[in-house]
Chains A and B, each alone.
Chain A
Amino acid sequence: MVSAQDNVISATGLRRAYGDFEAVRGIDFAVRRGELFALLGTNGAGKTSTVELLEGLAPPSGGEVRVLGHDPYRERRRVRPYTGVMLQEGGMPAQLTVAETVRMWAGCTARPRPAAEALELVGLAGRRDVRVAHLSGGERRRLDLALALLGRPEVLFLDEPTTGLDAEGRHATWELVRELRTGGTTVLLTTHYLEEAEELADRLAIMAGGRIAAAGTVEEIVGAHPATVSFRLPAGWLPGDLPPLPALGVTGHELAGTAVRLRTGALQRTLTEVLLWAQDNGVELAGLDARSASLEEAFLKIAGAAADDRRAGPRERPDQGAGAAAYATGPVRTDERNAR
């Protein structure tokens, strides 16, 4: 018997190349039994390329994958009876009905669930005689999930399972995935919804440019990023009137007129010092705001840093979070840049 702490999925030095382009550039991670592990990343980060290696759809160009102790590509017969897969996009013949699709899959599955049960799980019981062509995008995603669950898998791969679902469908899917996890299923999920990873994942890895840029629990990843304190100084006060910033635990800052934004790895200390200074000097700090980093901020910084590394040199990024991207190269350089 296997203890709960064994690795059900492991990747070591994993690489995948398409011709000259290397989509996965040497990644390592492990997923333990019963754990829900999320791979996060922007489009093109290498998530799907990685998951396809784990699913055994292609051999890696370097490194090693193990699922349940076996190579999922070369030893597919030893792995496939225990895995369920939901690809990023459908893959169901448009002119089959929902029931016919499930029946086809059941015929290729060890100990399948009854079709009615599988459809009930995803809320499609009332749509069994509808052709796939006539399902909504969200319904197709749910049918795909039903197929993935048909064999009561021990390991479930979900590639962006809620893309195209409305809020209600997304929450229903989350609930189902949570129940499966509670039942002991090991789940590997990719998503570009940060909220989804925050809701579901025990641990996650953020991929950028084919590499894992950060990994751990949500708390660990967020904790590695600075919190922010922001406020506006009243007329007559200048940022230079503040106590020396390093003494406040501040690691970076932005100034825009009277608006001040401080970054700190010690939020409580920085906030206390700022408030004491304000009280001692009788200063009213307008728009005072103090917050820990969010997963979104952490994500944008990590993804942005990786993008900057690849481009070799700073440049304007008109897309996603200009502020976060400006800090992408790290607090020290950030300070230099902002000081100008």
Chain B
Amino acid sequence: MTATDAAPGTAPPAHAGDRAADVPGPLARLAAVGRAELTLLWRSKLVLFGALVTPAGFAFATRSAVAEMDLSDTGLTAATVVLPSAVVFALLFVVYANLVIVYVARREELVLKRLRTGLLDDRELLAGAALPALCVALAQCLVLAATVGLAMDAPAPQAPLAAVLGVLLGMAMLTVLAAATAAATKSAESAQLTSMPLLLVSMFGSGLFVPFEVLPDSLAEIARRLPLSPVVELVRGGWTGELGAGGTVEALAVAVAWTAAGAWAVRRWFRWEPRG
């Protein structure tokens, strides 16, 4: 060895700055990963079919359930029960259940690890992989809302902003909860099992089939604290205009709290490669 062993860390980058200036921006990076994920989603026809058809099926089931209910004292109509349910079903299946599979599959085939050697930071990576699912879910929410609205003769939304906030917060929350669930999931096959608890709790606890207004008060109080409950309330309130400022703030707080809890769990437990 020659006498060239400079002290470690003394070498500055060769061309400090020049290439760093050409680094693609976060949006371009998200788009690159998102485009690849969209191609993959399009190629897994079974997943795609399940994601598109399941929410519509459950919305139809809700409609049948509502037909049996006495809503006379609740201020609700069949349309204002079914419409928020349809939107949340779309979020649950297209965003949550689908993304659990996506995150686990990409982790197990070492795609996440490989991408982490590049320019993307961890949040961009998870967001980029979620991008197509979020777009599909958004489109589906619009289609389902329009279909239910027309078919069941719903009134025009009274507070559309609340509904939009509800959907956006729901998408953010379900993305981080999907990543958190993926952390507890060994393989893409077992994702169906691990995503079941949140799906069931939401279906029966968050007012998707049975609105809070029909539940006994004490039970309704607990049900309103479940993750998807504020999304249901915000979307329903968006149509009925009857949530009020207090109710809106409370719903937003619950949604943000679950999103933050999910984000904390992801930071704490998410793994970027299969368990060695």
**Which positions in A face B, CB cutoff 8 Å?**
1-2, 5-8, 10-12, 18, 30, 32-33, 55-57, 64, 66, 68-70, 76-78, 80-83, 85, 87, 89-96, 100-101, 103-111, 147, 154, 203, 216
A108 in contact with B12 (CB, 8 Å): no
Assembled-state Cα–Cα distance A8/B276 (Å): 30
The interface residues of chain B lying within 8 Å CB-to-CB of A94 are: 109
Chain A residues whose C-beta falls within 8 Å of the C-beta of B118 in the assembled complex = 80, 85, 105, 108-109
What chain B residues lie within 8 Å of A105 (beta carbons)?
Answer: 32, 118
Contact A108 B19, CB 8 Å, known A6-B6, A6-B10, A91-B109: no
A contacts with B: majority SS: mixed
Instruction: Provide the bound-state CA to CA distance between A100 and B109, in Å.
Output: 17
Residues of B within 8 A of A30 (CB): 5-6, 8
**Complex CA distance for A69 and B117, rounded to whole angstroms:** 18
A32 contacts B35, C-beta separation under 8 Å: no
Q: Are A89 and B110 in contact (CB under 8 A)?
A: yes
The stretch of B36-44, B53-61, B170-178 that contacts the partner chain: B36-44
Asked if B9 and A87 sit within 8 Å, CB to CB, the answer is: no
* Chain A hits for B35, CB < 8 A: 103-104, 107
- Given the contacts A78-B13, A96-B40, A108-B33, A91 and B121 also touching, CB distance less than 8 Å: no
The number of A-B residue pairs with CB atoms under 8 Å apart is 145
Which residues of chain B in 16-34 are interfacial with respect to chain A, using CB atoms and an 8 Å cutoff? 19-20, 22-24, 28-29, 31-33
Asked if B106 is at the interface of the complex by the 8 Å CB criterion, the answer is yes
B249 on the A face (CB < 8 A): no
Find out whether the CB atom of B11 lies under 8 angstroms from the CB atom of A110: no
What are some 15 contacts across the A-B interface (CB < 8 A)? Answer: A11-B8, A66-B11, A76-B121, A77-B20, A81-B22, A100-B39, A103-B35, A106-B32, A107-B35, A108-B29, A108-B119, A109-B119, A110-B23, A154-B14, A216-B1
Contacts A108-B118, A110-B19 given: A7-B14 contact, CB under 8 Å? no
> Cβ of B19 and Cβ of A82 under 8 Å apart?
yes
In the bound complex, CA of A92 to CA of B40 (Å): 12
What is the minimal beta-carbon distance from B108 to any residue of chain A, in angstroms?
Answer: 11
Given the known inter-chain contacts A87-B117, A95-B44, A107-B29, please indicate yes or no for A5 contacting B4, CB distance below 8 A.
Answer: yes
Tell me the bound Cα distance from A108 to B51 in angstroms. 28
Whether B110 pairs with A69 at a CB distance below 8 angstroms is no
Given the known interface contacts A55-B117, A89-B110, A93-B106, the answer about A104 and B32 at a Cβ–Cβ threshold of 8 Å is: yes
Are the CB atoms of A12 and B8 closer together than 8 Å? yes
Asked whether A81 and B20 contact (CB < 8 A) given A30-B8, A95-B43, the answer is yes
A10/B8 in contact, CB under 8 A: yes
Q: Closest Cβ of chain A: how far from B78's Cβ, in Å?
A: 42
Q: Quick one: closest B residue to A105, CB to CB?
A: B118
When chains A and B are docked, how far (Å) is the Cα of A1 from the Cα of B13?
Answer: 9
Return A150 CB to nearest CB of chain B, in Å.
9
Cβ A110 vs Cβ B8 within 8 A:
no
Q: Tell me, yes or no, whether B120 is within 8 Å of chain A by CB.
A: yes
Closest approach, in angstroms, between the C-beta of B207 and any C-beta of chain A?
A: 37
B113 touching A91 by the CB < 8 A rule?
yes
Known contacts being A6-B6, A68-B11, A110-B23, is A81 close to B32, with CB within 8 Å? no
Of B31, B39, B40, the contact of A107 (CB 8 Å cutoff): B31
In this assembly, does B115 line the interface, its C-beta being within 8 Å of a C-beta of chain A? yes
B267 in the interface, Cβ–Cβ < 8 Å? no
Contact in complex: A90, B110 (CB < 8 Å) = yes
Cα A56 to Cα B115 with chains together (Å): 12
With most chain B CB atoms within 10 A of its CB, the pick from A5, A77, A90, A91 is A91
Say yes or no: A80 contacts B13, CB within 8 Å: no
B222 at the interface (CB under 8 A from A): no
Task: Tell me if B9 and A66 are in contact (CB < 8 A).
Answer: yes
Q: Which residues of B are found within 8 Å of A8, using beta-carbon distances?
A: 11
Taking a contact as CB atoms under 8 Å apart, the answer to whether A107 and B117 are in contact is no
User: How far, in whole Å, are A318 and B276 apart by their CA atoms in the complex?
Assistant: 27
A261 to B9, CA, bound (A): 47
Residues of A within 8 A of B215 (CB): none
Q: A87 touches which one: B6, B19, B39, B113 (CB < 8 A)?
A: B113
Q: Does B257 contact A (CB under 8 A)?
A: no
Using A78-B13, A93-B36, A107-B32 as known contacts, say yes or no to A87 and B20 having CB atoms under 8 A apart. no
Q: Is the CB of A107 within 8 A of B33?
A: yes
- Name the residue on B nearest A5 (C-beta): B4
User: Can you name the residue of chain B whose Cβ is closest to the Cβ of A217?
Assistant: B1
